[in-house]
Amino acid sequence: MFKNKEEFKTEFTKRIIEGYGRPLKEAHITEKFMVLEKLIRDQAAINWALTKEEVQDSQQKQMTYFSMEFLIGRLLVNNMMNLGVYDIVKEGLADLDINIHELEELESDPGLGNGGLGRLAACFMDSLASLSMPGHGNTLRYQYGLFKQKIVDGYQTEIPDQWMSIGNMWEIRKPKHAVDVRFWGKVIWDDSTGRFKHVDAECIRAVPYDMPIIGNETTVTNTLRLWDAEVSTNIPTNKDFRQYSQEVNEICQNLYPDDSTLAGRTLRLKQQYFFVSAGLQALIKSHLRTYKTLDNFHEKNVIQLNDTHPVLAIPELMRLLIDEHDYDWEDAWDIVSHTMAYTNHTILSEALEKWPIDTMRALLPRVYMMIEEINRRFIGYVKEHVSNPDEVFNHVLIIKDGQVHMAHLAIVGSFSVNGVARLHTDILIHQEMKAFAELYPTKFNNKTNGITHRRWLAYANPQLKELLHDTIGDHWIKEPDELEKLMAYVDDPDIQKRFMQVKRDRKRILARYIQKNNGILVNVDSIFDIQVKRLHAYKRQLLNVLHIIYLYQEMKRNPEFRIYPRTFIFGAKAAPAYFFAKKVIKLINSVADVVNSDPETSDYLKVVFLENYGVTLAEMIMPAADVSEQISTAGKEASGTGNMKFMMNGALTLGTLDGANVEIHERVGDDYCEIFGLTAKEVDSLRQSGQYNAWDYYNNNIKLKFVVDSLVDGSWSASREEFRIIFEELMNYNDEYFLLADFDSYIKAQQDVEKRYLDKSAWAKMCLINIAKSGFFSSDRTIKQYADEIWHIQPVKK
């Protein structure tokens, strides 16, 4: 493989000729791109093979992260940087008259996830490899990722995401490791063998595609395994082939974009079982190759269940051990319950997965039997351990009211249950999962989320990286806590100025993008106030809009009322069936149309909706923010990770005491972040008391009344009906997320933000302190905690 620029050039040129039968100068740009990607993959392949060998030889314990989502983002530059060959390649290409940035832009951003949960899985993969830990991913190979968002007349429309249209050079198909997964059919007792038998099942072939996960400055290369569905050679004889092949194709076609309703339920359940069963079968085969027994499976393997989506792994591993490897229940349970660990990512009850018994039993008859038995034995356990079992059953039963409660199954079958930020874990332990926490006091623990500072700082913000290089050196790339060294510079006027220049450069890059994509000219010296995340009522993008409307109305009413110029920037995808969320997108765009074209206010106020928010866009947005909007109703956002990305790039957090905001606040203090609104406890008692009345707020605050009325008086749309449902949600459905209760306090906080911005030196200092204190939010810290406290895995010995 290449070790220097000249070798790279020779290899690259050779591969173009070999691959496409023409000289470099006649090669198409996509051909150059594909050759480069494959060349980098091959460069990593040596270490990849070595890592597998080392782990096997040392008989180390390994972790596999079972997740339906991995939002990995583009990989080319990141991988080249982690391999330490970026500069060689860049210069080599330049010699060949190729601009590396043009090739970079050709890479698609695989949207194999919905939002924070999927991006977290990807950040974890980067940290695991970079810490030289043996940790892999197991997931589905979706043909189409999350939809691409197009805004048409202010409305969201969805287009399929064809992320593999020019192929995925990173993956390697491994047909040798294919396994069968079985659905439907029935379970019979087989007298001849003295065991249950699953007959008349529909077999689907699961074929793995492996992608290397390349760590930073390490030879350790882990594997992200994506399972694809193909027809099996064990085709059911009684089945119409066309129907069968369609069912096969369906499994990996789409990522469920809808975290608001579980539509197409059976298909989603099929997806879950498919990648879980295939992943477990592969782990078992590989384990048996090395150890010849499964008795020590849990000593050599740990599986982290990313939310409830992969929780069928618990009954499935029971089934595999009992039916296919001859274990009795107790021994199998001992292995399973010491292998599985579960992460909870939300307490919103509507998001907790439940499956109708009938669906589950028909699709997975033998797995359902396992669940029934787990439930039966668990009932016995509860009776033994509490004095009031009937009361406790209400909160903990796995099978209840005709449904299987996946979170309950997860907790019973795992040795560890963790939340994703301290407040969230506290709510789990003391409220949502209280009964379980009392039954299993040692299972529950917290692992506050993190983000990979390599992608979100070093890669996304080279300008800031350079400033850090010139002040504190580069060691923070390996040891993110070393960002704290920046504290020595926060009062230095030169560094403050330099930081503001970096920020301005990054704002200019975003402004250029906005000009090009939205046709809106924004003032680079205005405050860039940004809210980017999935669109959800509890995240309260609407509160942000209400504030913008308030500012606009005040300026229109009173020529004396003027604000420091602000650019409000939004990015958000709404689930395609989530009507309310889509209306909020339309509202943002309608308010933008009015405000941006009003000459009286447009010097002060601009509103921008960036379409198709995702990882690639986030890489441009995070570095350009002055203000990070984290304004969810307290108690609702489990953690948030965008908040950490903004902080690390030197933005002020404007937020409620929710999720990880609490821990950001704890690290920087009131002086360096802006907290407002009700606390989780206050929200809770307000809800419990039944005293909350949206109309009281409306009637007692004339300014708020004007704002809310504007939703239905034609201010933002010729049709007064356009935004009626938003009005109804606030007023007649009594404002479930307490926007009106937090309105005043939000406005005051926003005024405070403006005041802070007027003092440029104080502002710069504040941003620098945020960067300095952001090391804690590196996923390296999170992964070390998982590794030490849950997984008990060690770095790969080299």
Instruction: Based on the shown chain and the rule CB under 6 A, indicate whether residue 345 belongs to the binding site for ligand 26V.
Output: yes
Rounded Cα gap, residues 72 and 108, in angstroms:
11
Residue nearer to ligand 26V on the CB measure, 88 or 428? 428
Least gap, CB of 343 to ligand 26V (angstroms) = 7
Binding map of ligand 26V across residues 363-402, x = CB under 6 A, - = no contact: ----------------------------------------
Stretch that binds ligand 26V, among 16-24, 232-240, 495-503, 632-640 (CB under 6 A): 632-640
**Residue bearing tokens 């009626």:** 724
Rounded Cα gap, residues 742 and 737, in angstroms:
10
Stretch that binds ligand 26V, among 35-43, 332-340, 520-528, 635-643 (CB under 6 A): 635-643
Residue 195 belongs to what H/E stretch?
A: strand 195-199
Residue nearer to ligand 26V on the CB measure, 316 or 353? 353
Instruction: Based on the shown chain and the rule CB under 6 A, indicate whether residue 281 belongs to the binding site for ligand 26V.
Output: no
With helix as H, strand as E and coil as C, how does 423-466 read?
A: HHHHHHHHHHCHHHHHHCCCCEEECCCCECHHHHHHHCCHHHHH
216, 346, 590, 653: which one binds ligand 26V (CB under 6 A): 346
Q: What is the DSSP letter of 778?
A: B
Contacts of 613 (CB under 8 A, 6+ apart): 149, 532, 533, 571, 572, 573, 621
Residue nearer to ligand 26V on the CB measure, 420 or 657? 420
Asked if 739 and 546 touch (Cβ cutoff 8 Å), the reply is yes
Instruction: Based on the shown chain and the rule CB under 6 A, indicate whether residue 348 belongs to the binding site for ligand 26V.
Output: yes
Residue nearer to ligand 26V on the CB measure, 345 or 366? 345
307, 316, 626, 729: which one binds ligand 26V (CB under 6 A): 307
Least gap, CB of 257 to ligand 26V (angstroms) = 12
Least gap, CB of 348 to ligand 26V (angstroms) = 5
Residue nearer to ligand 26V on the CB measure, 78 or 260? 260
Instruction: Based on the shown chain and the rule CB under 6 A, indicate whether residue 113 belongs to the binding site for ligand 26V.
Output: no
Tell me, what amino acid is at 584? V
Binding map of ligand 26V across residues 638-677, x = CB under 6 A, - = no contact: xxxx-----------------x------------------
Rounded Cα gap, residues 741 and 140, in angstroms:
42
Stretch that binds ligand 26V, among 109-117, 131-139, 683-691, 786-794 (CB under 6 A): 109-117
Stretch that binds ligand 26V, among 10-18, 44-52, 346-354, 782-790 (CB under 6 A): 346-354
Rounded Cα gap, residues 418 and 340, in angstroms:
12
Instruction: Based on the shown chain and the rule CB under 6 A, indicate whether residue 304 belongs to the binding site for ligand 26V.
Output: no
Asked if 639 and 427 touch (Cβ cutoff 8 Å), the reply is no
Instruction: Based on the shown chain and the rule CB under 6 A, indicate whether residue 260 belongs to the binding site for ligand 26V.
Output: yes
Residue nearer to ligand 26V on the CB measure, 259 or 323? 259
Contacts of 592 (CB under 8 A, 6+ apart): 520, 606, 607, 608, 609
Least gap, CB of 404 to ligand 26V (angstroms) = 17
Least gap, CB of 637 to ligand 26V (angstroms) = 5
* 3-class DSSP state of 240: coil
Instruction: Based on the shown chain and the rule CB under 6 A, indicate whether residue 680 belongs to the binding site for ligand 26V.
Output: no
* 3-class DSSP state of 754: helix
With helix as H, strand as E and coil as C, how does 322-346 read?
A: HHHHCCCHHHHHHHHHCCEEEECCC
Residue nearer to ligand 26V on the CB measure, 259 or 505? 259
Q: Is the dihedral of CA 12, 14, 19, 20 positive or negative?
A: positive
Instruction: Based on the shown chain and the rule CB under 6 A, indicate whether residue 305 belongs to the binding site for ligand 26V.
Output: no
Least gap, CB of 442 to ligand 26V (angstroms) = 22
Asked if 7 and 23 touch (Cβ cutoff 8 Å), the reply is no
> In sequence order, what DSSP letters do the residues of 477-530 get, joined into one string?
GT-GGGGGGGGGGTT-HHHHHHHHHHHHHHHHHHHHHHHHHH-----TTSEEEE
How many of the other CB atoms lie within 10 Å of CB of 22?
Answer: 12
- State the pairing for strand pair 301-306/340-343: parallel
* 3-class DSSP state of 776: helix
Asked if 623 and 460 touch (Cβ cutoff 8 Å), the reply is yes
Measured CA distances, 764 to 473, 625, 652 (Å):
20, 13, 10
Least gap, CB of 535 to ligand 26V (angstroms) = 11
Least gap, CB of 580 to ligand 26V (angstroms) = 11
* 3-class DSSP state of 304: strand
Rounded Cα gap, residues 373 and 282, in angstroms:
25
Footprint on residues 409-448 left by ligand 26V (CB under 6 A): 420
Least gap, CB of 352 to ligand 26V (angstroms) = 9
Instruction: Based on the shown chain and the rule CB under 6 A, indicate whether residue 115 belongs to the binding site for ligand 26V.
Output: yes
Q: How many residues bind ligand 26V (CB under 6 A)?
A: 21
202, 210, 637, 663: which one binds ligand 26V (CB under 6 A): 637
Least gap, CB of 251 to ligand 26V (angstroms) = 22
Stretch that binds ligand 26V, among 360-368, 550-558, 633-641, 695-703 (CB under 6 A): 633-641
Asked if 66 and 138 touch (Cβ cutoff 8 Å), the reply is yes
Residue nearer to ligand 26V on the CB measure, 368 or 777? 777
- Enumerate the H helices of 326-421 as residue ranges: 329-337, 357-363, 365-385, 389-396, 406-413
Rounded Cα gap, residues 192 and 398, in angstroms:
33
Instruction: Based on the shown chain and the rule CB under 6 A, indicate whether residue 480 belongs to the binding site for ligand 26V.
Output: no
Instruction: Based on the shown chain and the rule CB under 6 A, indicate whether residue 90 belongs to the binding site for ligand 26V.
Output: no
Instruction: Based on the shown chain and the rule CB under 6 A, indicate whether residue 771 belongs to the binding site for ligand 26V.
Output: no
Q: Among all residues, which ones are annotated catalytic?
A: 345, 533-534, 539, 641, 645
72, 120, 367, 625: which one binds ligand 26V (CB under 6 A): 120
Instruction: Based on the shown chain and the rule CB under 6 A, indicate whether residue 137 belongs to the binding site for ligand 26V.
Output: no
Rounded Cα gap, residues 779 and 420, in angstroms:
12
Instruction: Based on the shown chain and the rule CB under 6 A, indicate whether residue 308 belongs to the binding site for ligand 26V.
Output: no
Binding map of ligand 26V across residues 527-546, x = CB under 6 A, - = no contact: ---------x----------
Instruction: Based on the shown chain and the rule CB under 6 A, indicate whether residue 117 belongs to the binding site for ligand 26V.
Output: yes
Rounded Cα gap, residues 333 and 336, in angstroms:
5
Instruction: Based on the shown chain and the rule CB under 6 A, indicate whether residue 449 belongs to the binding site for ligand 26V.
Output: yes
- State the pairing for strand pair 444-446/416-419: parallel
Least gap, CB of 431 to ligand 26V (angstroms) = 17
Instruction: Based on the shown chain and the rule CB under 6 A, indicate whether residue 722 belongs to the binding site for ligand 26V.
Output: no
Stretch that binds ligand 26V, among 180-188, 276-284, 636-644, 776-784 (CB under 6 A): 636-644
Asked if 614 and 146 touch (Cβ cutoff 8 Å), the reply is yes
Instruction: Based on the shown chain and the rule CB under 6 A, indicate whether residue 350 belongs to the binding site for ligand 26V.
Output: yes
Residue 17 belongs to what H/E stretch?
A: helix 5-20
Instruction: Based on the shown chain and the rule CB under 6 A, indicate whether residue 16 belongs to the binding site for ligand 26V.
Output: no
Least gap, CB of 364 to ligand 26V (angstroms) = 23
Rounded Cα gap, residues 687 and 187, in angstroms:
48
Least gap, CB of 627 to ligand 26V (angstroms) = 19
Stretch that binds ligand 26V, among 110-118, 132-140, 405-413, 588-596 (CB under 6 A): 110-118
Residue nearer to ligand 26V on the CB measure, 132 or 779? 779
Instruction: Based on the shown chain and the rule CB under 6 A, indicate whether residue 116 belongs to the binding site for ligand 26V.
Output: yes
Rounded Cα gap, residues 263 and 430, in angstroms:
32
> In the complex, which residues of this chain contact ligand 26V (CB under 6 A)?
115-117, 120, 259-260, 307, 345-346, 348, 350-351, 420, 449, 536, 637-641, 659
